[in-house]
Structure 1
Amino acid sequence: MVDRKAKHDSEGGSQKAPPSGRHSLREEPSGSPSGSDVSAVDPELVSDLGAEYELRGDVAADELAEAKAEAAEWRDKGMRAQADFENTRKRLEVRHADALLRAGERIVENLLPVLDDLDRAIDHAVADGADLSDGLDAVRRKLLDLIAREGCSAIDPFGAVFDPLKHNAVQMREDTEVADQTVVEVFQKGYEMHGRVLRPAMVVVSTGGPSRE
Protein backbone atom coordinates (compact mmCIF):
# COMPACT_ATOMS: atom_id res chain seq x y z
CA MET A 1 0.00 0.00 0.00
CA VAL A 2 2.77 2.30 0.80
CA ASP A 3 4.40 1.74 -2.54
CA ARG A 4 1.21 2.43 -4.54
CA LYS A 5 0.57 5.66 -2.66
CA ALA A 6 4.11 6.77 -3.10
CA LYS A 7 3.88 6.03 -6.75
CA HIS A 8 0.69 8.03 -6.97
CA ASP A 9 2.25 10.90 -5.16
CA SER A 10 5.27 10.59 -7.35
CA GLU A 11 3.17 10.75 -10.51
CA GLY A 12 1.09 13.57 -9.17
CA GLY A 13 4.13 15.50 -8.17
CA SER A 14 5.66 15.09 -11.57
CA GLN A 15 2.91 17.24 -13.22
CA LYS A 16 4.12 20.76 -13.93
CA ALA A 17 2.20 23.68 -12.54
CA PRO A 18 1.18 26.45 -14.94
CA PRO A 19 3.73 29.25 -15.15
CA SER A 20 3.16 32.10 -12.86
CA GLY A 21 2.26 35.55 -14.30
CA ARG A 22 0.10 34.23 -17.15
CA HIS A 23 -3.59 34.89 -17.33
CA SER A 24 -6.11 32.69 -18.83
CA LEU A 25 -8.19 35.61 -20.12
CA ARG A 26 -6.98 37.80 -23.09
CA GLU A 27 -6.32 41.41 -22.10
CA GLU A 28 -7.52 44.29 -24.24
CA PRO A 29 -4.81 46.34 -25.87
CA SER A 30 -3.92 49.37 -23.91
CA GLY A 31 -4.83 52.81 -25.36
CA SER A 32 -7.88 51.70 -27.34
CA PRO A 33 -10.95 53.87 -26.78
CA SER A 34 -13.58 52.37 -24.78
CA GLY A 35 -16.31 54.19 -26.74
CA SER A 36 -17.03 57.00 -29.28
CA ASP A 37 -15.92 60.44 -28.03
CA VAL A 38 -16.32 62.71 -31.17
CA SER A 39 -17.09 66.33 -30.37
CA ALA A 40 -19.97 67.96 -32.26
CA VAL A 41 -19.19 70.99 -34.63
CA ASP A 42 -20.19 74.34 -33.17
CA PRO A 43 -22.94 75.86 -35.40
CA GLU A 44 -22.05 79.38 -34.28
CA LEU A 45 -18.46 78.89 -35.42
CA VAL A 46 -19.65 77.70 -38.83
CA SER A 47 -21.94 80.70 -39.13
CA ASP A 48 -19.11 83.11 -38.24
CA LEU A 49 -16.78 81.53 -40.80
CA GLY A 50 -19.44 81.72 -43.50
CA ALA A 51 -20.12 85.37 -42.74
CA GLU A 52 -16.39 86.14 -42.85
CA TYR A 53 -15.94 84.43 -46.22
CA GLU A 54 -19.00 86.22 -47.58
CA LEU A 55 -17.62 89.56 -46.37
CA ARG A 56 -14.27 88.84 -48.00
CA GLY A 57 -16.05 87.99 -51.24
CA ASP A 58 -18.00 91.25 -51.14
CA VAL A 59 -14.82 93.23 -50.47
CA ALA A 60 -13.04 91.51 -53.37
CA ALA A 61 -15.98 92.21 -55.68
CA ASP A 62 -16.02 95.87 -54.65
CA GLU A 63 -12.27 96.18 -55.21
CA LEU A 64 -12.59 94.55 -58.64
CA ALA A 65 -15.42 96.89 -59.63
CA GLU A 66 -13.41 99.88 -58.41
CA ALA A 67 -10.36 98.74 -60.38
CA LYS A 68 -12.46 98.32 -63.54
CA ALA A 69 -13.99 101.78 -63.09
CA GLU A 70 -10.54 103.31 -62.58
CA ALA A 71 -9.21 101.53 -65.67
CA ALA A 72 -12.16 102.80 -67.73
CA GLU A 73 -11.56 106.32 -66.44
CA TRP A 74 -7.89 106.23 -67.41
CA ARG A 75 -8.82 104.79 -70.80
CA ASP A 76 -11.23 107.67 -71.38
CA LYS A 77 -8.59 110.16 -70.28
CA GLY A 78 -6.11 108.60 -72.68
CA MET A 79 -8.58 108.78 -75.56
CA ARG A 80 -9.37 112.42 -74.78
CA ALA A 81 -5.67 113.24 -74.57
CA GLN A 82 -5.10 111.56 -77.94
CA ALA A 83 -7.99 113.51 -79.47
CA ASP A 84 -6.67 116.78 -78.01
CA PHE A 85 -3.23 116.00 -79.40
CA GLU A 86 -4.62 115.35 -82.89
CA ASN A 87 -6.70 118.53 -82.80
CA THR A 88 -3.71 120.56 -81.65
CA ARG A 89 -1.54 119.06 -84.37
CA LYS A 90 -4.12 119.90 -87.03
CA ARG A 91 -4.48 123.46 -85.74
CA LEU A 92 -0.70 123.92 -85.80
CA GLU A 93 -0.54 122.60 -89.36
CA VAL A 94 -3.27 125.02 -90.44
CA ARG A 95 -1.53 127.91 -88.69
CA HIS A 96 1.78 127.00 -90.29
CA ALA A 97 0.24 126.86 -93.75
CA ASP A 98 -1.59 130.12 -93.09
CA ALA A 99 1.63 131.77 -91.91
CA LEU A 100 3.33 130.77 -95.15
CA LEU A 101 0.48 132.26 -97.15
CA ARG A 102 0.57 135.46 -95.13
CA ALA A 103 4.31 135.75 -95.68
CA GLY A 104 3.77 135.55 -99.43
CA GLU A 105 0.96 138.06 -99.19
CA ARG A 106 3.19 140.59 -97.45
CA ILE A 107 5.78 140.25 -100.21
CA VAL A 108 3.20 140.78 -102.91
CA GLU A 109 1.64 143.72 -101.07
CA ASN A 110 5.02 145.42 -101.04
CA LEU A 111 5.33 144.90 -104.80
CA LEU A 112 1.92 146.33 -105.65
CA PRO A 113 2.99 149.99 -105.54
CA VAL A 114 5.80 149.13 -107.96
CA LEU A 115 3.29 147.66 -110.36
CA ASP A 116 1.14 150.76 -110.02
CA ASP A 117 4.08 153.00 -110.90
CA LEU A 118 4.93 150.84 -113.88
CA ASP A 119 1.35 150.97 -115.12
CA ARG A 120 1.34 154.75 -114.93
CA ALA A 121 4.76 155.04 -116.56
CA ILE A 122 3.70 152.81 -119.44
CA ASP A 123 0.52 154.82 -119.94
CA HIS A 124 2.48 158.09 -120.12
CA ALA A 125 5.11 156.58 -122.39
CA VAL A 126 2.47 155.30 -124.80
CA ALA A 127 0.73 158.67 -124.79
CA ASP A 128 3.99 160.48 -125.52
CA GLY A 129 5.11 157.96 -128.13
CA ALA A 130 8.30 157.18 -126.24
CA ASP A 131 10.22 153.97 -126.74
CA LEU A 132 10.28 153.23 -123.01
CA SER A 133 7.01 151.37 -123.25
CA ASP A 134 8.60 148.11 -124.41
CA GLY A 135 11.16 148.03 -121.59
CA LEU A 136 8.68 149.01 -118.92
CA ASP A 137 6.16 146.51 -120.18
CA ALA A 138 8.78 143.75 -119.96
CA VAL A 139 9.49 144.64 -116.33
CA ARG A 140 5.79 144.71 -115.60
CA ARG A 141 5.29 141.25 -117.09
CA LYS A 142 8.12 139.88 -114.96
CA LEU A 143 6.55 141.26 -111.81
CA LEU A 144 3.17 139.85 -112.78
CA ASP A 145 4.73 136.44 -113.36
CA LEU A 146 6.42 136.67 -109.96
CA ILE A 147 3.25 137.38 -108.02
CA ALA A 148 1.31 134.87 -110.12
CA ARG A 149 3.68 132.14 -108.92
CA GLU A 150 2.76 133.16 -105.38
CA GLY A 151 -0.93 132.70 -106.20
CA CYS A 152 -1.76 136.36 -106.73
CA SER A 153 -3.89 137.66 -109.58
CA ALA A 154 -5.14 141.09 -110.65
CA ILE A 155 -8.71 142.29 -110.20
CA ASP A 156 -9.58 144.25 -113.34
CA PRO A 157 -13.39 144.47 -113.28
CA PHE A 158 -14.06 146.80 -116.20
CA GLY A 159 -17.57 146.05 -117.54
CA ALA A 160 -18.37 143.65 -114.68
CA VAL A 161 -21.09 143.94 -112.06
CA PHE A 162 -20.01 145.92 -109.04
CA ASP A 163 -18.90 143.61 -106.22
CA PRO A 164 -18.48 145.40 -102.87
CA LEU A 165 -16.25 142.58 -101.64
CA LYS A 166 -13.69 143.14 -104.41
CA HIS A 167 -14.37 146.68 -105.63
CA ASN A 168 -14.11 150.04 -103.98
CA ALA A 169 -16.51 152.51 -105.63
CA VAL A 170 -14.84 155.91 -105.52
CA GLN A 171 -17.32 157.56 -107.87
CA MET A 172 -20.84 157.05 -109.27
CA ARG A 173 -21.51 157.97 -112.91
CA GLU A 174 -25.00 158.32 -114.35
CA ASP A 175 -25.43 156.41 -117.58
CA THR A 176 -28.86 155.40 -118.84
CA GLU A 177 -27.45 153.13 -121.55
CA VAL A 178 -25.48 150.91 -119.20
CA ALA A 179 -27.05 148.52 -116.73
CA ASP A 180 -27.16 149.83 -113.22
CA GLN A 181 -24.25 148.93 -110.90
CA THR A 182 -21.78 148.32 -113.74
CA VAL A 183 -18.08 149.13 -113.43
CA VAL A 184 -17.51 151.68 -116.19
CA GLU A 185 -13.97 152.69 -115.28
CA VAL A 186 -11.09 151.27 -113.25
CA PHE A 187 -8.91 153.85 -111.52
CA GLN A 188 -6.64 151.26 -109.95
CA LYS A 189 -6.57 147.49 -110.26
CA GLY A 190 -7.14 145.31 -107.28
CA TYR A 191 -5.33 142.09 -106.37
CA GLU A 192 -6.35 138.88 -104.65
CA MET A 193 -4.33 135.96 -103.41
CA HIS A 194 -5.53 132.46 -102.53
CA GLY A 195 -9.13 133.67 -102.53
CA ARG A 196 -8.38 136.59 -100.21
CA VAL A 197 -8.59 140.17 -101.43
CA LEU A 198 -5.30 141.95 -100.82
CA ARG A 199 -6.57 145.21 -102.21
CA PRO A 200 -9.93 146.04 -103.79
CA ALA A 201 -10.04 147.69 -107.18
CA MET A 202 -10.84 151.40 -107.23
CA VAL A 203 -13.69 151.80 -109.70
CA VAL A 204 -16.41 154.06 -111.08
CA VAL A 205 -19.89 152.54 -110.98
CA SER A 206 -22.81 153.41 -113.26
CA THR A 207 -26.20 154.48 -112.02
CA GLY A 208 -29.54 155.41 -113.59
CA GLY A 209 -29.49 152.64 -116.19
CA PRO A 210 -31.66 149.52 -116.50
CA SER A 211 -31.92 147.65 -113.22
CA ARG A 212 -30.36 144.22 -112.81
CA GLU A 213 -32.81 141.52 -111.77
Structure 2
Amino acid sequence: MQDNIENNAEAAAAPTAHTKETMPSLEEMLKASELVAAEHHDAWLRAKAETENMRRRAADDVDKARKFAVENFANELMAVKDSLEAALTVESPSVENMKDGVELTLKQLVAAFGKFNLNEINPVGEKFDPHQHQAIQMIESDQPANTVVTVLQKGYRLHERTLRPALVMVAKGKD
Protein backbone atom coordinates (compact mmCIF):
# COMPACT_ATOMS: atom_id res chain seq x y z
CA MET A 1 0.00 0.00 0.00
CA GLN A 2 2.86 2.28 0.75
CA ASP A 3 4.04 1.65 -2.80
CA ASN A 4 0.64 2.72 -4.20
CA ILE A 5 0.76 5.98 -2.28
CA GLU A 6 4.29 6.69 -3.47
CA ASN A 7 3.35 5.79 -7.06
CA ASN A 8 0.29 8.07 -6.89
CA ALA A 9 2.43 10.86 -5.46
CA GLU A 10 4.97 10.41 -8.24
CA ALA A 11 2.21 10.32 -10.86
CA ALA A 12 0.69 13.48 -9.46
CA ALA A 13 4.05 15.18 -9.34
CA ALA A 14 5.04 13.99 -12.81
CA PRO A 15 2.64 16.22 -14.79
CA THR A 16 3.79 19.25 -12.83
CA ALA A 17 7.39 18.47 -13.53
CA HIS A 18 6.57 17.80 -17.19
CA THR A 19 4.58 21.03 -17.45
CA LYS A 20 7.42 23.00 -15.94
CA GLU A 21 9.80 21.73 -18.58
CA THR A 22 7.54 22.70 -21.56
CA MET A 23 6.26 26.00 -20.16
CA PRO A 24 8.22 28.82 -21.83
CA SER A 25 10.05 31.30 -19.69
CA LEU A 26 8.87 34.89 -19.41
CA GLU A 27 11.78 35.99 -21.57
CA GLU A 28 10.78 33.56 -24.32
CA MET A 29 7.15 34.70 -24.08
CA LEU A 30 8.28 38.34 -24.29
CA LYS A 31 10.42 37.61 -27.37
CA ALA A 32 7.53 35.76 -29.03
CA SER A 33 5.16 38.65 -28.25
CA GLU A 34 7.68 41.15 -29.61
CA LEU A 35 7.94 39.13 -32.83
CA VAL A 36 4.16 39.04 -33.18
CA ALA A 37 3.97 42.79 -32.45
CA ALA A 38 6.69 43.46 -35.06
CA GLU A 39 4.79 41.38 -37.64
CA HIS A 40 1.57 43.28 -36.92
CA HIS A 41 3.40 46.62 -37.09
CA ASP A 42 4.97 45.64 -40.41
CA ALA A 43 1.59 44.54 -41.78
CA TRP A 44 0.05 47.82 -40.59
CA LEU A 45 2.81 49.87 -42.25
CA ARG A 46 2.32 47.96 -45.52
CA ALA A 47 -1.45 48.44 -45.40
CA LYS A 48 -0.98 52.14 -44.65
CA ALA A 49 1.44 52.52 -47.58
CA GLU A 50 -0.92 50.63 -49.91
CA THR A 51 -3.83 52.83 -48.83
CA GLU A 52 -1.76 55.96 -49.45
CA ASN A 53 -0.73 54.66 -52.90
CA MET A 54 -4.37 53.90 -53.78
CA ARG A 55 -5.44 57.39 -52.63
CA ARG A 56 -2.68 59.00 -54.71
CA ARG A 57 -3.54 56.89 -57.80
CA ALA A 58 -7.23 57.77 -57.41
CA ALA A 59 -6.38 61.47 -57.15
CA ASP A 60 -4.19 61.19 -60.27
CA ASP A 61 -7.02 59.42 -62.13
CA VAL A 62 -9.46 62.17 -61.15
CA ASP A 63 -7.01 64.86 -62.29
CA LYS A 64 -6.50 63.11 -65.64
CA ALA A 65 -10.24 62.62 -66.12
CA ARG A 66 -10.86 66.31 -65.41
CA LYS A 67 -7.98 67.41 -67.64
CA PHE A 68 -8.90 65.26 -70.63
CA ALA A 69 -12.69 65.12 -70.24
CA VAL A 70 -13.32 67.03 -73.47
CA GLU A 71 -10.75 65.17 -75.56
CA ASN A 72 -13.29 63.29 -77.71
CA PHE A 73 -15.43 66.40 -78.14
CA ALA A 74 -12.34 68.40 -79.14
CA ASN A 75 -11.49 65.78 -81.77
CA GLU A 76 -14.97 66.19 -83.28
CA LEU A 77 -14.63 69.99 -83.34
CA MET A 78 -11.29 69.78 -85.15
CA ALA A 79 -13.11 68.41 -88.21
CA VAL A 80 -15.44 71.43 -88.12
CA LYS A 81 -12.48 73.81 -87.86
CA ASP A 82 -10.75 72.05 -90.77
CA SER A 83 -13.87 72.54 -92.91
CA LEU A 84 -14.04 76.24 -92.07
CA GLU A 85 -10.35 76.72 -92.85
CA ALA A 86 -10.75 74.87 -96.16
CA ALA A 87 -13.60 77.22 -97.08
CA LEU A 88 -11.37 80.22 -96.44
CA THR A 89 -8.60 78.92 -98.72
CA VAL A 90 -10.81 78.83 -101.82
CA GLU A 91 -9.49 81.45 -104.26
CA SER A 92 -12.71 82.70 -105.80
CA PRO A 93 -15.72 81.17 -104.05
CA SER A 94 -19.20 81.71 -105.34
CA VAL A 95 -21.96 82.60 -102.94
CA GLU A 96 -23.66 79.28 -103.67
CA ASN A 97 -20.46 77.27 -102.97
CA MET A 98 -19.88 79.16 -99.72
CA LYS A 99 -23.48 78.55 -98.66
CA ASP A 100 -23.20 74.82 -99.41
CA GLY A 101 -19.90 74.62 -97.52
CA VAL A 102 -21.33 76.42 -94.49
CA GLU A 103 -24.37 74.11 -94.48
CA LEU A 104 -22.12 71.02 -94.56
CA THR A 105 -19.96 72.45 -91.80
CA LEU A 106 -23.07 73.17 -89.71
CA LYS A 107 -24.17 69.55 -90.22
CA GLN A 108 -20.76 68.42 -88.93
CA LEU A 109 -21.14 70.63 -85.88
CA VAL A 110 -24.70 69.46 -85.19
CA ALA A 111 -23.53 65.83 -85.50
CA ALA A 112 -20.71 66.49 -83.02
CA PHE A 113 -23.17 68.11 -80.61
CA GLY A 114 -25.55 65.17 -80.95
CA LYS A 115 -22.80 62.63 -80.39
CA PHE A 116 -22.08 64.18 -76.99
CA ASN A 117 -25.71 64.91 -75.99
CA LEU A 118 -25.37 68.67 -76.42
CA ASN A 119 -28.88 69.54 -77.60
CA GLU A 120 -30.31 72.89 -78.63
CA ILE A 121 -33.30 74.44 -76.95
CA ASN A 122 -35.57 76.03 -79.57
CA PRO A 123 -38.90 76.44 -77.74
CA VAL A 124 -41.12 78.30 -80.22
CA GLY A 125 -44.75 77.56 -79.32
CA GLU A 126 -43.86 75.90 -76.01
CA LYS A 127 -44.93 77.05 -72.56
CA PHE A 128 -42.33 79.30 -70.90
CA ASP A 129 -40.01 77.32 -68.58
CA PRO A 130 -37.67 79.46 -66.42
CA HIS A 131 -35.27 76.51 -66.11
CA GLN A 132 -34.67 76.44 -69.87
CA HIS A 133 -35.75 79.88 -71.11
CA GLN A 134 -34.89 83.46 -70.29
CA ALA A 135 -37.68 85.90 -71.12
CA ILE A 136 -36.41 89.15 -72.59
CA GLN A 137 -39.76 90.70 -73.38
CA MET A 138 -43.49 90.06 -73.23
CA ILE A 139 -45.39 90.86 -76.40
CA GLU A 140 -49.01 90.93 -77.57
CA SER A 141 -49.91 87.71 -79.36
CA ASP A 142 -52.82 85.50 -80.33
CA GLN A 143 -51.14 82.64 -78.46
CA PRO A 144 -51.99 81.76 -74.83
CA ALA A 145 -50.22 83.65 -72.04
CA ASN A 146 -46.66 82.53 -71.18
CA THR A 147 -46.16 80.83 -74.54
CA VAL A 148 -42.82 81.38 -76.28
CA VAL A 149 -43.54 83.44 -79.39
CA THR A 150 -40.03 84.24 -80.63
CA VAL A 151 -36.58 82.79 -79.95
CA LEU A 152 -33.86 85.43 -80.12
CA GLN A 153 -31.05 83.02 -79.29
CA LYS A 154 -31.27 79.23 -78.97
CA GLY A 155 -30.32 77.68 -75.69
CA TYR A 156 -28.27 74.53 -75.12
CA ARG A 157 -28.58 71.61 -72.76
CA LEU A 158 -25.88 69.02 -71.97
CA HIS A 159 -27.73 65.83 -71.04
CA GLU A 160 -30.29 67.19 -68.53
CA ARG A 161 -28.33 70.32 -67.50
CA THR A 162 -29.10 73.65 -69.14
CA LEU A 163 -25.82 75.24 -70.23
CA ARG A 164 -27.40 78.33 -71.71
CA PRO A 165 -31.10 79.20 -71.54
CA ALA A 166 -32.86 80.23 -74.74
CA LEU A 167 -33.48 83.99 -74.96
CA VAL A 168 -37.16 84.32 -75.79
CA MET A 169 -40.11 86.65 -76.16
CA VAL A 170 -43.24 85.46 -74.39
CA ALA A 171 -46.90 86.11 -75.13
CA LYS A 172 -48.79 88.41 -72.77
CA GLY A 173 -52.12 87.27 -71.49
CA LYS A 174 -55.16 88.56 -73.36
CA ASP A 175 -56.68 91.15 -71.03
TM-score (norm 1): 0.45
- Pair member with larger Rg: 1
Specify the code of the residue in structure 1 equivalent to 2:59. Answer: R
1:142 equivalent to 2:120? Answer no
Aligned residue among 91, 96, 103 for 2:59: 91
Answer 1 or 2: higher relative contact order, Cα 8 Å, separation at least 6: 2
The 1:58/1:66 distance shift into structure 2, 3 A limit, reads: same
Q: Is the 8 A contact 1:183 1:203 kept in 2?
A: no
Contact 1:188/1:203, CA 8 A, preserved across alignment: yes
Q: Which amino acid aligns with 1:90?
A: A
For structure 2, list consecutive stretches of 5 or more residues without a partner in the other structure.
1-20, 85-94
- Counterpart for residue 155 of structure 1: 120
**1:185-213 alpha-carbon deviations (Å, 9 max, x no partner):** 3322234556665x40342264766xxxx
Q: Is 1:75–2:43 an aligned residue pair?
A: yes
Residues 56-91 of structure 1, C-alpha deviations (whole Å, 9 max, x = no match): 921221222122122212212212222222232233
- Across the two proteins, how many residue pairs are aligned to each other? 133
CA shift, 1:94, in A, is 3.0
Q: Is the alpha carbon distance of 1:161 and 1:79 closer, same or farther for their aligned partners in structure 2, counting shifts above 3 Å?
A: farther
CA distance in 1, matches of 2:160, 2:68: 15
Secondary structure of 1:101's counterpart equals: coil
CA RMSD of aligned residues (A): 4.1
Query: Which residue of the partner structure matches residue 201 of structure 1?
Result: 165
Post-superposition Cα deviations, 1:148-169, rounded to whole Å, max 9, x if no partner, equal 44x25232240265253x54x2
**Pair 1:64-2:32 in alignment:** yes
How far residue 174 of structure 1 moved from its aligned partner, in angstroms, is 5.7
TM-score with structure 2 setting the length:
0.52
How far apart are the structure 2 equivalents of 1:69 and 1:184? 78
- Mapping for residues 7-46 of structure 1, pairs under 5 Å: none
* Residue type at the aligned position of 1:203: L
Distance 2:53 2:26 in 1: 40
Q: Measure the CA separation in 2 of the matches of 1:175 and 1:70.
A: 85
Aligned partners of 1:137, 1:186: CA distance in 2, in Å? 21
State, as a whole percentage, how many aligned pairs show the same letter: 17
TM-superposed deviation, 1:184: 4.1
Question: Residues 186 and 204 of structure 1 are in contact (CA less than 8 Å); yes or no, is this contact kept in structure 2?
Answer: yes
- Cα displacement (A) at 1:97: 2.5
Structure 1 stretches of at least 4 aligned residues deviating more than 4 Å after TM superposition: 103-108, 130-134, 174-177, 192-197
1:131-157 per-position Cα deviation (integer Å, ceiling 9, x unaligned): 5795132221122224444x2523224
Rounded Cα–Cα distance in structure 2 between residues aligned with 1:132 and 1:104:
30
